């Protein structure tokens, strides 16, 4: 589904992320964690993935239906609650355009079916190996 490579060189915590298509992102830790805040933190990247996927999914769906969705604004608040060992993601969606109540409700259910939402709300297994 997705393949990303990353590398850290001399600058602590500044990570270059590369996609197979040649796109590059910079991730860094905030200054409060010893970084220089040169890019999105890893948590911000995760929240960004949900926001981007939700926006694209809603736009694609509305376009296929011919609905007057003129824009989508999304606010994501991702929190890890250490005491409960739990992550809480609050997603607020603002739909711009001329939509009736039925269209708005349908788009809400479509948002909950975006691929990244499905990934995050189902069991996740991470396999880690060391490369030589």
Q: What pLDDT shows up at residue 22?
A: 95
Residue among 38, 43, 34, 36 at smallest CA distance from 25: 38
- Whether residue 1 has pLDDT greater than 80: no
Residue pLDDT, tens place only, 45-70: 999 999 999 999 999 999 999 999 99
* pTM (predicted TM-score): 0.92
Q: What is 42-120's CATH topology? A: GMP Synthetase; Chain A, domain 3 (3.30.300)
Helix, strand, coil % (nearest 5) of the chain? 35, 30, 35
Q: What pLDDT shows up at residue 132?
A: 82
Residue pLDDT, tens place only, 100-123: 999 999 999 999 999 999 999 999
42 burial (CB, 10 Å; 0-12 / 13-18 / 19+) is middle
Mean pLDDT of 36-44: 95
- Rounded-to-integer distance, Cα 98 and Cα 86, Å: 38
- In the chain, where the domains are located: 1-39, 42-120
């Amino acid at each position: 589904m997705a393949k990303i490579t990353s590398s850290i060189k001399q600058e602590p915590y500044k990570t270059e992320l590369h996609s197979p298509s040649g796109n590059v992102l910079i991730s860094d830790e905030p200054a409060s964690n010893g970084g220089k805040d040169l890019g999105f933190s890893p948590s911000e990247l995760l929240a960004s993935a949900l926001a981007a996927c939700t926006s694209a999914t809603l736009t694609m769906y509305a376009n296929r239906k011919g609905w007057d969705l003129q824009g989508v604004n999304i606010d994501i608040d991702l929190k890890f609650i250490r005491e409960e060992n739990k992550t809480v993601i609050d997603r607020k969606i603002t739909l711009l355009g001329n939509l009736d109540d039925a269209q708005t409700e349908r788009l809400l259910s479509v948002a909950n079916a975006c691929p990244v939402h499905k990934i995050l709300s189902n069991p996740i297994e991470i396999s880690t190996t060391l490369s030589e």
